[in-house]
Amino acid sequence: MATLVERLEASGLRLTAQRRAIAEALDGTDRHVTADDLLPQARARIPEIGRATVYKALAAFVATGQVGEFALPGEPVRYDPNAGVAHHHAVCDACGAVIDVPIGDDLTHLAPPGFVAHSGDLVLHGRCAACAGQTS
């Protein structure tokens, strides 16, 4: 699979040094991070990069369709570099981890009879494998 930088370049987005640093910090197949999570990682590459630059770059990435936004009520938006692959999410109520749940392209089995689904967002809540093994 191509890296996020490669996918953004292929989308036609001009990658400045700042955008490249942010894309490299975001890249991964199962990451769901906030802009504030990315800021220190981007600053490790370009120390003078600012918070507004991170938000603007993320908005540009989302506009290309190569990065998705994932939001839970009362929490900051998280950014998902795995937007090109159909998936839902599982959220660990204990540690807050967000895990991709692969799905097929056919959503008809999830929809009511006669409803024609073209997209969907399903969020499962529970405990991840690591937290499920811990005693409370």
pLDDT at 135 > cutoff 60: no
Indicate the average pLDDT of the chain.
88
All residues at 6 or more sequence positions from 125 whose CB lies less than 8 Å from its CB, including other chains: 90, 91, 93
Looking at the structure, do residues 112 and 72 belong to the same domain, yes or no? Answer: no
Looking at the structure, do residues 13 and 43 belong to the same domain, yes or no? Answer: yes
Mean pLDDT of the region 76-105: 85
Looking at the structure, do residues 68 and 128 belong to the same domain, yes or no? Answer: no
Looking at the structure, do residues 66 and 93 belong to the same domain, yes or no? Answer: no
> How many separate domains does the chain show?
2
- The 8-class DSSP code of residue 12 comes to T
98: containing domain: 87-132
Looking at the structure, do residues 107 and 71 belong to the same domain, yes or no? Answer: no
Q: How many CB atoms lie within 10 A of CB 13?
A: 17
Looking at the structure, do residues 13 and 49 belong to the same domain, yes or no? Answer: yes
Rg (CA), the chain: 17
Q: Report the CATH number that the domain containing residue 121 is assigned in CATH.
A: 3.30.1490
All residues at 6 or more sequence positions from 92 whose CB lies less than 8 Å from its CB, including other chains: 98, 99, 126, 127, 128, 131
Q: Per residue in 11-33, pLDDT tens?
A: 999 999 999 999 999 997 667 99
Task: Tell me the pLDDT band of 10, cut-offs 50, 70 and 90.
Answer: very high
Looking at the structure, do residues 59 and 11 belong to the same domain, yes or no? Answer: yes
- The 8-class DSSP code of residue 27 comes to -
Enter the pTM of the model: 0.81
Looking at the structure, do residues 9 and 76 belong to the same domain, yes or no? Answer: yes
Looking at the structure, do residues 14 and 56 belong to the same domain, yes or no? Answer: yes
